């Protein structure tokens, strides 16, 4: 009986050791972006016969060419610099938006998928403006894909101003690991009870 109890407790300790190693061992993947904020500038046009107050489309001028007007000073400071260039895709249908992969691609390897789009305000004809925002996935070398926010402000007086901001919070992985650990512990406690019951029955 004592030997069986010792064996059960050894199994329980082994389970706890596995659980602890899962929690405290470093992740194999890269870390998500903690904080980042940078600005993009470029020119645009709207649908023929419309103005910013009525347009349903935003077309980026110069073949989609854009430039970094405000460099990142946080997690992406080593990647996103002033005057870096890139391309931005058109928004062909503001009111019936579908997700756009690689919506923004910069020469430094940073890219942005636009997942959702919200029209906050439109006014026109001139001076006119349009304010948009959306949920994005930002991808950067050395980082995991990270969820963030995108805002777009366009005017008829100074072409367009884009601001991109990423705010993230780490997914609480310890919660799922805790459930796994509790499951392991419960399994070994159950094994111990079954062995004790079997011995008493014998």
pLDDT at 26: 43
pLDDT at 29: 60
Residue at 46 is within a domain: yes
For the beta carbon of residue 109, count every other beta carbon within 10 angstroms: 12
Residue at 41 is within a domain: yes
Residue at 94 is within a domain: yes
What six digits make up the tokens of 63?
């073949």
- Cβ–Cβ < 8 Å for 39, 150: no
| C-alpha closest to that of 72 among 171, 135, 157, 146 | 146
Residue at 25 is within a domain: no
Residue at 125 is within a domain: yes
pLDDT at 117: 95
- Average pLDDT per consecutive 10 residues, the chain (202 residues; last block may be shorter): 48 43 47 88 86 90 90 92 95 96 96 94 86 92 92 71 48 44 47 51 56
Number of domains making up the chain: 1
pLDDT at 172: 43
Range of the domain at 104: 35-167
Measured CA to CA, the distance from residue 51 to residue 154 in angstroms comes to 12
- Could you tell me how many residues make up the chain? 202
35 contacts: CB under 8 Å, gap ≥ 6 = 74, 75, 166, 167, 168
**Helices 2-24 and 173-201, packing angle to 10 deg:** 170
Residue at 194 is within a domain: no
Residue at 70 is within a domain: yes
């Amino acid at each position: 009986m004592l030997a069986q109890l010792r064996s059960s407790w050894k199994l329980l300790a082994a389970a706890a050791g596995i659980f602890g190693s899962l929690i405290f061992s470093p992740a194999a993947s890269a870390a998500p972006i903690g904080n980042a904020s940078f600005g993009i500038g470029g020119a645009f046009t709207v649908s023929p016969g419309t103005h910013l107050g009525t347009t349903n489309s935003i077309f980026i001028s110069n073949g989609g060419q854009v430039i970094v007007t405000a460099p990142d000073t946080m997690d992406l400071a080593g990647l996103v610099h002033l005057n870096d260039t890139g391309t931005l895709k058109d928004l062909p249908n503001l009111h019936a938006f579908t997700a756009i992969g690689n919506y923004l691609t910069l020469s430094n390897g940073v890219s942005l998928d636009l997942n959702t789009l919200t029209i906050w305000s439109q006014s026109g004809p001139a001076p006119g403006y349009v304010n948009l925002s959306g949920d994005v996935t930002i991808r950067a070398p050395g980082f995991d894909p990270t969820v963030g926010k995108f805002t777009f402000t366009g005017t008829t007086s100074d072409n367009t101003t884009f601001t991109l901001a990423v705010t993230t919070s780490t997914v609480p992985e310890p919660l799922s690991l805790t459930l796994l650990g509790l499951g392991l512990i419960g399994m070994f406690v159950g094994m111990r009870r079954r062995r004790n019951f079997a011995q008493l029955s014998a």
